[in-house]
Amino acid sequence: MRYIISSAIASFAAALPAMAEVPRVITDIHPVHSLVAQVMGDLGTPELLLEKGASEHDFQLRPSQAAGLADADLVVWIGPELTPWLERALAGLGEGSSQLALIDLPGTETRQFSESGAHHAEDAHDPDHGQDETAEAGHDGHDHSAEEAEHDEAGHDDHSHDGTDPHAWLDPANAELWLAAIAAELGRIDPENAATYSANAGSAATRIRALDAEIATTLAPIQGKPLIVYHDAYGYFAAHYGLEIFGSIALGDATAPGAARLAELRDGVAAGTPVCLFPEAQHDPTLVQQLAEGTGARIGGALDPNGSTQGPGPGAYAALLRSLAQTMVDCVQTS
Ligand SMILES: [Zn+2]
């Protein structure tokens, strides 16, 4: 399909040399793809690396995708905090290609993992807090750690446990801010359509503001109700909407929890503190079921923090936020 369209444009462009081709844009995950698709509008469609139903933490480039990166005009991605391997792939980008790491854009609201999730719960409830921190800092069981030690001079190994929480797309204020930067970069590459990109970004920002107000209304009844989530992905969403994440089972990069973390969550559930536990669409729900077993805590629907279980497209960002909010509300309000 792409080949046919490219050929058609190429022959058309040969006949009319003044007509510029719309930039070829590659995106990492569904929410980023959605934002870029809204900015490009009718001019074109970005490509998406993450496959349907995949976790944002364990996807890898297929060889055809790696080859495709070489002739991208622009790569829009969250940043190395989420996908360190993509940073390495981008080092090989051709001259004339550019990349936009959204989490690094000025004005982006960023959070540290220590501000969110189970760390917060530890501060409040666990006298062995310091011990647990040490155990986590020493955790070294990622799939990617050996590869990183071998290839990565910049030393991103601890990005996903400490340091910046990469799930910044779950704060709609960030999404709104990023739209303008995406439009500016597309306009720089494709000045002929700069006004269209800018206008599309403006419309999308208006839609996101309305979405934000709608989600805030949806979530208002469950503010402050302690929730347990599968992985430490919801710090931005919780902070923005006043939710209380009592803890997360898996770590911020979705790797397995330590025994100390599980014991702490089990104590909380046994004491009746969290009202709902949420599995995730991309991960095995067994640990969630074991934690809830024999307690009064409810198991909610599967959350999907990257929207990959739904189809990609301009509407995917709104669908993702609505789905998270509704799944949380549905569980808490029936508890
Ligand atoms: Zn995540």
Distance 144 CA to ligand 1 centre (A): 15
Confidence of residue 96 (pLDDT cuts 50, 70, 90): confident
**pLDDT for 128:** 37
**pLDDT for 323:** 98
Side-chain half-sphere CA neighbours of 19 within 13 A: 10
Distance 301 CA to ligand 1 centre (A): 17
Distance 306 CA to ligand 1 centre (A): 8
Q: Which residue has the higher pLDDT, 13 or 31?
A: 31
Distance 275 CA to ligand 1 centre (A): 22
Neighbours of 149 (CB within 10 A): 11
Mapped onto helix, strand or coil, the DSSP state of residue 169 is: helix
Kindly give the interhelix angle for 30-40 and 316-333, rounded to the nearest 10 degrees.
140
User: With pLDDT > 70 as the criterion, what percentage of the chain qualifies?
Assistant: 79
CB 329 within 8 A of CB 219: yes
Distance 154 CA to ligand 1 centre (A): 21
**pLDDT for 294:** 86
What number is the average pLDDT over the span 160-166?
77
Q: What is the Cα–Cα distance from 127 to 107, expressed in whole angstroms?
A: 36
DSSP letter assigned to residue 143: S
In angstroms and rounded to an integer, the radius of gyration of the C-alpha atoms of the chain is: 21
| Average model confidence (pLDDT) across the chain | 83
Q: Which residue has the higher pLDDT, 253 or 127?
A: 253
The two structure tokens encoding residue 26: 């590659």
Distance 284 CA to ligand 1 centre (A): 14
**pLDDT for 88:** 86
User: With pLDDT > 90 as the criterion, what percentage of the chain qualifies?
Assistant: 63
List 70's β-bridge partners, or say none: none
Distance 30 CA to ligand 1 centre (A): 13
Distance 233 CA to ligand 1 centre (A): 5
CA distance from start to end of the chain? 49
Distance 166 CA to ligand 1 centre (A): 7
Instruction: Say yes or no to pLDDT of 119 above 60.
Output: no
Q: What is the Cα–Cα distance from 331 to 298, expressed in whole angstroms?
A: 7
